Amino acid sequence: MSRIGKQPVTLPAGVKVRVENGTIFVEGPKGKLEFVHHRNIAVAMDEAKKSVVVTRPDDERTNRALHGLTRSIIANMVQGVTKGYEKRLKIEGIGYQARMDKKSVVLTVGYANAVTVTPPDGVTVACPDPTTIVVTGADKQKVGQLAAEIRHVRKPEPYKGKGIRYENEQVRRKEGKSFASGG
């Protein structure tokens, strides 16, 4: 039995969950999310215990994998509509900075032109200072994807460490060329 899949997802106060023909709708103070689960996995709402229970038909390999996955996605949706998700990025490098232009973020990171990244619906971007970008939203996948796209504009390079990185990311540094004396 899947250790993660067999645990019920408890619902905090203020979260409403509906299960209708293969789709799970989760609604809370931070927003609304929906997820279409695999047809082999059964998702049921336990009204008495205020929880969502995920079950699988048999112990086939794909069903075991989908069991834990479905439960984790539902738990992430519940957390997203109550607390939300946040990714923080730092920009390092002389002259490298970010600024807001309406809802999108404009990155000046060493290219001839500035790069504009527009967030999808349900995700917000903020720049508290020119070297910090904060991506927030209820959907964990969309927040992580947008943060990855922003980081991909200029990945941190290993020699000087210039680029866009996650706030607590450790960048492996390399030693530059060493010049031998004599000749």
pLDDT (average), residues 100-116: 93
> pLDDT digit string (tens) for 70-79?
999 999 999 9
pLDDT (average), residues 120-134: 94
Q: Is the pLDDT of residue 9 over 60?
A: yes
Q: Give the pLDDT confidence score for residue 61 in this predicted structure.
A: 92
- Read off the pTM: 0.89
pLDDT (average), residues 62-85: 94
Q: Is the pLDDT of residue 180 over 80?
A: no
Q: Give the pLDDT confidence score for residue 181 in this predicted structure.
A: 66
Query: H or E stretch including 149?
Result: helix 140-153
Backbone conformation region of residue 93, classed left if phi is above 0, alpha if psi is from -120 to 50, else beta: left
Query: Look-up: residue for tokens 């931070």?
Result: 30
Q: Is the pLDDT of residue 2 over 70?
A: no
Are 70 and 43 in contact by the 8 Å Cβ rule? The answer is yes
Q: Give the pLDDT confidence score for residue 47 in this predicted structure.
A: 86
Q: Give the pLDDT confidence score for residue 48 in this predicted structure.
A: 86
Strand-pairing partners, residue 166, are 89
